[in-house]
């Protein structure tokens, strides 16, 4: 949006003052106004509109404005916009409504365009204008537009208005400038529930769980009680970091505060329990719901899929259809993901075809990505590559990335080299593709290829983002990176690791050397490199810091490597613990020396 010079404030006028001057027509005028008020459907409004344009009142500002507004309230934005565009001097009320309804329909850029036209027409915005246009600005994540609108609010002396200030906090947070949002939040003279919700929600969508909890704690100290919006944002934050203990506490607090468990809260609870590794709690929430919508059904179906339970996912899918709900594209992504994790290729093909044949849904990128991953990991690399080439939409990095991972599993360097060329064309700055290709070369023991990829990264100035793992202990998240020594209990953690490693070897554990990229001599240094992986540090800390027998839940930002997967199975037998690991793709439930994935991931 270009810079707009604000016009002077318009002369005071009442846009809704009855403009008819003929007293004899007043009863007819009032009759039209009353009839318009009773129009409750698009059909009735259109019928009234057809008769209204033939009357003497068709230019009356009051009635025309109310007619446009009635179209808006009945969901007919097109007709409302036609009326609005024909008006010479629309009142600010109608400007605001047009801006608001465009934004609420997802037409965010058009909402901003109407706002600009409003300024250029000499109409001065009020506090309602700012609260309606700022959500549109947040949706398109335009900080530059946000700055401009913010400056206008300051010049109108409206930035301290609690509603405008809250909308500004929400806009900056959703646009990714959380620090600016926090500064505005801290300066607010009066914070209402919506203000806290905007800041908590901002931290949640920017994956800053601890900060969201910090604002929540302040909110409680100030005596501001939570609502459904607060709960959804907090549960979203807990889901990202795997904070199950905190998530359970928020669930219980919401029940004590008598927050209604509507479909939005229920879906957030299911998502939180799923992402925090407790599919049992997720199913309990689902089973206790009296009213389930498609979002809730999809959440539990996707949850079972993520936890490697495709049969349960399919069972829920069948139940959902029997109850009369029609699956959408997101539901099918959940189903295909489950079949991919379970290696159920024929089932995957069946549901992929079911999408279009029974429900008229065109496969999108995520559906193709699931199918390519499914075929590739099952060893059908040529079929997977052929599917990519036959796609009705252009394949993205997610689709090609699944095929590259399959090439690593099956040590197919030839196809991998074709795939990585496509990936580096699409995302040349993504370090993950260079590392993945290095893994393919390493799995095939082609060390010159590993060196070549490393040199390419160095020449292009590309660095690999650090891997990390975290664990929640006593409602606090502890995060570890490879060979992390920053934790206060590091010495004890490494002593525990060394003890575990020694006992694992006695049980027959042999390190998987291909997980270290480099042609080192076997043993020694290479095995030491594997021992310092972040998930092992998190597991060791969990063993040290929690009661015997307690389930350990680990969150990892990358895929778990083969060696750590093997090591974790041994550790469950040594420590007599169940260990649940959420990696970048799925959940692994380790217990009694086995993993729920059946070593297929």
pLDDT tens digits along 196-245: 999 999 999 998 989 999 999 999 999 999 999 999 999 999 999 999 99
Predicted local confidence at residue 299, as pLDDT: 97
SS3 11: coil
pLDDT in tens, 520-531: 444 444 445 456
Predicted local confidence at residue 267, as pLDDT: 96
When pLDDT is cut at 50, 70 and 90, the band that residue 11 belongs to is very low
When pLDDT is cut at 50, 70 and 90, the band that residue 22 belongs to is very low
Instruction: Look at the block and give the residue holding tokens 């689902």.
Output: 286
Residue 68 buriedness (CB in 10 A; 0-12 / 13-18 / 19+): buried
Cβ neighbours of residue 476 closer than 8 Å, sequence gap 6 or more: none
Predicted local confidence at residue 72, as pLDDT: 85
When pLDDT is cut at 50, 70 and 90, the band that residue 23 belongs to is very low
pLDDT in tens, 483-513: 899 999 999 999 999 999 999 999 999 887 6
The per-residue pLDDT of the chain, averaged, comes to 88
pLDDT in tens, 280-334: 999 999 999 988 999 999 999 999 999 999 999 999 999 999 999 999 999 999 9
Predicted local confidence at residue 14, as pLDDT: 42
Angle between helices 381-389 and 397-409 (to 10 degrees): 170
When pLDDT is cut at 50, 70 and 90, the band that residue 73 belongs to is confident
SS3 360: coil
SS3 308: coil
Comparing CA positions, the residue from 512, 538, 534, 537 lying closest to residue 523 is 512
DSSP code, position 368: H
Mean pLDDT, residues 430-448: 92
More confident site: 26 or 363: 363
Q: Are 69 and 94 in contact (CB under 8 A)?
A: yes
Contacts of 378-387 with CB under 8 Å at 24 or more apart are 378/343, 378/345, 379/410, 380/345, 381/406, 381/407, 381/410, 381/412, 381/415, 382/415, 385/415, 385/418, 385/419
> Which of 9-18, 67-76, 443-452 holds the top average pLDDT?
443-452
C-alpha dist (Å) from residue 445 to 158, 310, 408, 457: 65, 34, 11, 20
Which residues is 594 bridged to in the sheet? 591
When pLDDT is cut at 50, 70 and 90, the band that residue 34 belongs to is low
d(CA 587, CA 244): 15
When pLDDT is cut at 50, 70 and 90, the band that residue 65 belongs to is confident
What's the number of CA atoms in the CB half-sphere (13 Å) around residue 257?
A: 17
Mean pLDDT, residues 150-164: 93
Mean pLDDT, residues 186-198: 93
Residue 307 buriedness (CB in 10 A; 0-12 / 13-18 / 19+): buried
d(CA 326, CA 312): 18
Residue 29 has pLDDT above 90, yes or no: no
**Radius of gyration for the alpha carbons in the chain, expressed in angstroms and rounded:** 29
When pLDDT is cut at 50, 70 and 90, the band that residue 10 belongs to is very low
Predicted local confidence at residue 465, as pLDDT: 83
Return the minimum-mean-pLDDT range out of 32-46, 248-262, 563-577, 586-600: 32-46
Residue 581 has pLDDT above 70, yes or no: yes
Predicted local confidence at residue 9, as pLDDT: 39
Element (DSSP H or E) covering residue 471: strand 468-473
Predicted local confidence at residue 39, as pLDDT: 61
When pLDDT is cut at 50, 70 and 90, the band that residue 446 belongs to is very high
pLDDT in tens, 87-142: 888 999 999 999 999 999 999 999 999 999 999 999 999 999 999 999 999 999 88
596 φ, ψ (degrees, to nearest 5): -60, -25
Comparing CA positions, the residue from 129, 132, 148, 150 lying closest to residue 5 is 148
- The domain ranges of the chain are 468-595
């Amino acid at each position: 949006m270009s810079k707009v010079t604000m016009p002077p404030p318009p002369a005071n006028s009442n846009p809704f003052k009855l403009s008819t001057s003929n007293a004899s027509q007043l009863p007819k005028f009032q009759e039209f106004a009353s009839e318009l008020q009773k129009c409750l459907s698009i059909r009735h409004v259109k019928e009234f509109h057809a008769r209204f344009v033939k009357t003497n009142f068709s230019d009356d500002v009051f009635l025309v404005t109310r007619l446009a507004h009635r179209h808006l309230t009945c969901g007919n934005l097109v007709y409302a916009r036609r009326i609005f565009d024909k008006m010479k001097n629309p009142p600010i009320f109608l400007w605001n409504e047009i801006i608001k309804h465009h934004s609420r329909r997802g037409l965010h850029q058009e909402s901003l365009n109407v706002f600009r036209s409003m300024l250029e027409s000499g109409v001065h915005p009020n506090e309602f204008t700012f609260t309606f246009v700022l959500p549109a600005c947040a949706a398109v994540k335009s900080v530059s537009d946000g700055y401009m609108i913010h400056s206008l609010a300051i010049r109108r002396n409206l930035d301290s208005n609690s509603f405008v200030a809250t909308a500004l906090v929400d806009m900056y947070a959703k646009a990714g400038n959380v620090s600016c949002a926090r500064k505005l939040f801290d300066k607010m003279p009066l914070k209402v529930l919506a203000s806290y919700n905007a800041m908590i929600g901002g931290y949640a969508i920017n994956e800053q769980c601890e900060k969201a909890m910090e604002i929540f704690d302040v909110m409680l100290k100030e005596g501001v009680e939570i609502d459904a919006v607060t709960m959804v944002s907090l549960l979203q934050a807990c889901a990202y970091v795997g904070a199950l203990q905190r998530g359970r506490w928020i669930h219980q607090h919401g029940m004590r505060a008598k927050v209604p468990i509507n479909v939005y809260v229920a879906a957030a609870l299911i998502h939180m329990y799923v992402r925090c590794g407790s599919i049992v709690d997720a199913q309990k929430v689902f089973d206790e719901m009296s009213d389930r919508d498609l979002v809730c059904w999809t959440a539990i179906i996707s949850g079972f899929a993520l936890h490697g339970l495709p049969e349960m996912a399919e069972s829920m899918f069948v139940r959902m259809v029997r109850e009369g709900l029609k699956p959408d594209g997101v539901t099918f992504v959940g189903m295909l993901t489950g079949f991919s994790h379970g290696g159920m290729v024929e089932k995957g093909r069946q549901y992929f075809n079911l999408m279009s044949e029974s429900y008229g849904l065109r496969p999108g990128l995520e559906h193709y990505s699931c199918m390519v991953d499914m075929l590739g990991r099952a060893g059908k690399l040529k079929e997977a590559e052929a599917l990519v080439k036959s796609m009705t939409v252009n394949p993205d990095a997610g689709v090609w990335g699944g095929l590259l991972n399959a090439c690593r599993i099956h040590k197919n360097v030839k196809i991998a080299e074709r795939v990585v060329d496509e990936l580096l064309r699409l995302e040349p700055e993504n370090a993950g593709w260079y590392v993945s290709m290095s893994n393919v070369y390493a799995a095939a023991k082609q060390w010159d290829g590993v060196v070549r990829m490393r040199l390419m990264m160095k020449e292009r100035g590309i660095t690999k983002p650090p891997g990390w793992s975290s664990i929640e202990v006593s409602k606090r998240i502890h995060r570890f990176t490879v060979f992390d020594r920053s934790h206060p209990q590091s010495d004890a953690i490494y002593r525990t690791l060394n003890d575990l490693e020694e006992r694992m070897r006695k049980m027959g554990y042999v390190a998987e050397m291909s997980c270290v990229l480099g042609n080192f001599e076997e043993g020694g240094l290479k095995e030491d490199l594997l021992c310092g992986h972040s998930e092992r540090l998190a597991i060791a800390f969990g063993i040290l810091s929690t009661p015997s027998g307690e389930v350990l839940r680990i969150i990892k930002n990358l895929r778990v490597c083969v060696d750590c997967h093997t090591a974790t199975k041994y550790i469950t037998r040594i420590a007599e613990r169940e260990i649940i690991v959420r990696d970048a793709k799925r959940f692994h439930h380790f217990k009694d020396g086995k993993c729920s994935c059946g070593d297929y991931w």
